[in-house]
Chain A
């Protein structure tokens, strides 16, 4: 099918221009959501953590997770950098830094505007007003888009059970915190490296700790603004990127990054079929009319030419006849003259 360049550009231009004809999407993502007012959070002070792994043990017990490969008091697992697994919602890693040895507890950060919730098209994730991001396995289809979307790489998938898809991640012990209890990891930590409370109070605590001991802490609360803010906040004595924490995430929440493109989808799906079909129909009709007109013109021309030809033929024939007659006449005349002579 060949299409002229002009036509092609015209179609593309029309389609593109139509996408600008829309009001900006007034979803919750275009205004900056600062979190539910009294939502909870956890402040993880990495200067206090000693890497005892009691939090892992408590999480395992509270969530009835299967027993681990190596027992929780085996500290040799800290020699390797680990990540969350379907059997471990939270793990502790050891980092040897320029200053000293730091331990970090890794788990779902319960973002204020979670990327996983935004990516999930079956609404398996919910950001509760208590701050926890919880997951409903009954609707999950196992597409694992949430795993791609999460900037911290936290959700883990049970690959062994492909027909019963299930993502595993920290729930911030949602059933416990709505009863007024503490999350399992927070309650058991002997050093109180984890502080549970309202997120706005935790930020005050973190700022006060930095103010009191400026030599001890880096002047930044990780999670205060990263990816629009997370419920888990971190304090550290060394730059965060030495602990494997990304510092390039920016402050835009993940849903806001895709809001512009997604806002155009209804317009595209609604408008483009009609617009483009319309243009196609009109162009086709114009073509058809042009073709018919062309046919008519050709027929006309042919007829005319035919008539002219016949006319000319009859003229020539007539002339021919006349010539013949004259020739006969002359021949007769000549014969008569001849006869008269003799």
Chain B
């Protein structure tokens, strides 16, 4: 039994040791944690990463998914004058996407195919003294891979499609097909060509061998195969490497054609959009003449508007969705502000452009539109412009459309805008502001005239004024700022800033959004006053 004094000494020493260890190991732990997080910083970004996860179909994975760098292997095989057939078998004249097999197999066979083939090739290369890939299990099945994918999605736009069209000598059947369910065959349907994505979706069917394969599968199957065959004939073709399509820098190198000629597929030049249902009932609202040809030029793909098919909008969007809650009604399809595919949504998103945002950022999205704005699209037909050849209302509208454009384009601003406005009612710390009103107005007019959309909707010569002279009907001589904005924090107008803040919020806000950095400092607009009047008592 230890005596009291030595017992206390022993206890004290052991406590001190414990505290020291905890503290030391605690620091150790922190350091170790930070080391771990450093380790997980990816050291490489590559676009060609393929993660082998086909074992996931068999249940829980025993090892982590192996990471495979496709381009690395393509390049290595290239050096040895080997091509894709070293790993990919061919079926029906097309190269299979699967590795060393045409069909899916059992779990054991799949493991064998990958492990054996990979390690065999790697061992052979190592034996001949070349740098080769891993042969041990956890060199492929890494715990924490340091490579992160930099793959960007690839798509066709008008320009790339036209280049393919030209290269195929205008033969659409090389790529476009329809599927005959009865005979289970692919066939070409002229006049019905659409984007691959109408049938081939992002997510595959139950498995990739079902009728509709995923877009990823279909695109690689069709595109890479064709590129390979074209190159074999010593002709210029698209890329074979992953990075050729999926690397951001490489994508920018893809040649773009500026003025893509219009590919004819029977699409209309002008359309009258009306809400009558198919039974031929009288349409409910005033019809909207739509310049389809012009809108083709404004967009890079057809899919921006034609989300699911190239048919007319009302073939998919019903007038009402009461019985079928899933569909999107026709009204929503045309007017939804938040969606870029709707008419109004696309127009709204164009207002975020720097040239437009100075005024439009301050106009709330949740506003109620006035009737006059609706009438810009829903037009009242002009009876006097009837044609001789046809008396149908639709024909009248279609002929009237080019004429309406003529009326709104061109400089229509005949109003006189004051050259300079001196703002001196707040002179205190700074000199009066010499506001170059006409110069700013003319700049805005010039910028608005560069956009057909802006020209069309700024149809009234006083519409542009409403950008700054807001919350008032448009007029040639709109009210001055101080007519409405007075003292700040007025109980009756909780949301109305005072006069000084109105100037600053309006002017500085517009300059900030439009990126006009020259006028963001105080003295850029008003010089400092030599004798300052103390404002606060």
Contact = CB atoms under 8 A, between A and B. Distances in A.
Contacts of A184: 536
Interface stretch (A210-218, A241-249, A270-278, A303-311): A210-218
A188 B535 contact: yes
Interface stretch (B414-422, B435-443, B497-505): B497-505
Given A205-B495, A215-B365, A190 B489 contact: no
A192 B505 contact: yes
Contact of B504 (A188, A190, A213): A190
Nearest to B498: A192
A190 B501 contact: yes
B471 interface: no
Interface bin, chain A? 20 to 34
B145 interface: no
Contacts of A190: 500-501, 504
Interface string B454-470: 00000000000000000
A48 B500 CA distance: 13
A45 B537 CA distance: 25
A264 interface: no
Interface string A164-196: 000000000000000001101001111110011
A50 B365 contact: no
Interface SS majority for chain B = loop
B412 interface: no
Nearest to A216: B361
B489 A196 contact: yes
A1 B190 CA distance: 105
Contacts of A181: 537
A58 B429 CA distance: 13
B359 interface: no
Nearest to A48: B505
A214 B365 contact: yes
A212 B366 contact: yes
Interface string B333-364: 00000000000000000000000000001001
B535 A192 contact: no
Given A190-B504, A192-B488, A197-B489, A209 B536 contact: no
Contacts of B504: 190-192
Contacts, number: 52
A54 B122 CA distance: 70
Contacts of A187: 535-536
Interface in A36-55: 48, 50, 52
A62 B537 CA distance: 8
B522 interface: yes
Interface SS majority for chain A = mixed
Nearest to A182: B489
Contacts of A182: 489
B508 interface: yes
Nearest to B535: A188
Contacts of B522: 52
A191 B505 contact: yes
Nearest to B364: A212
Contacts of A213: 364-365
B488 A50 contact: no
Nearest to B367: A212
Nearest to A202: B494
A184 B494 CA distance: 20
Contacts of A161: none
B84 to A, nearest CB: 43
A208 interface: yes
Contacts of B537: 181
A40 B250 CA distance: 59
A186 to B, nearest CB: 8
Nearest to A201: B494
B537 to A, nearest CB: 8
A294 B495 CA distance: 91
Contacts of B536: 58, 61-62, 184, 187-188
Contact of B501 (A192, A204, A212, A214): A192
A205 to B, nearest CB: 5
Contacts of B491: 197, 201
Contacts of B366: 211-212, 214
Nearest to A197: B489
A238 to B, nearest CB: 15
A303 to B, nearest CB: 39
B467 to A, nearest CB: 16
Which of A182, A188, A189, A191 neighbours the largest number of chain B CB atoms within 10 Å of its CB? A191
B495 A191 contact: no
Contacts of A212: 364, 366
A195 B505 contact: no
Nearest to B500: A190
Nearest to B534: A61
Interface in B488-525: 488-489, 491, 494-495, 497-498, 500-501, 504-505, 508, 520, 522
24 contacts: A50-B520, A52-B522, A58-B536, A61-B536, A184-B536, A187-B536, A190-B501, A190-B504, A191-B501, A191-B504, A192-B501, A195-B488, A195-B489, A196-B489, A197-B489, A197-B491, A197-B494, A204-B494, A211-B366, A212-B364, A212-B366, A213-B364, A215-B365, A216-B361
Interface of A: 48, 50, 52, 58, 61-62, 181-182, 184, 187-192, 195-197, 201, 204-205, 208-209, 211-216
Given A181-B537, A189-B501, A190-B501, 13 more contacts: A58-B536, A187-B536, A188-B535, A191-B508, A192-B488, A192-B497, A192-B501, A192-B504, A195-B488, A197-B491, A201-B491, A213-B365, A214-B366
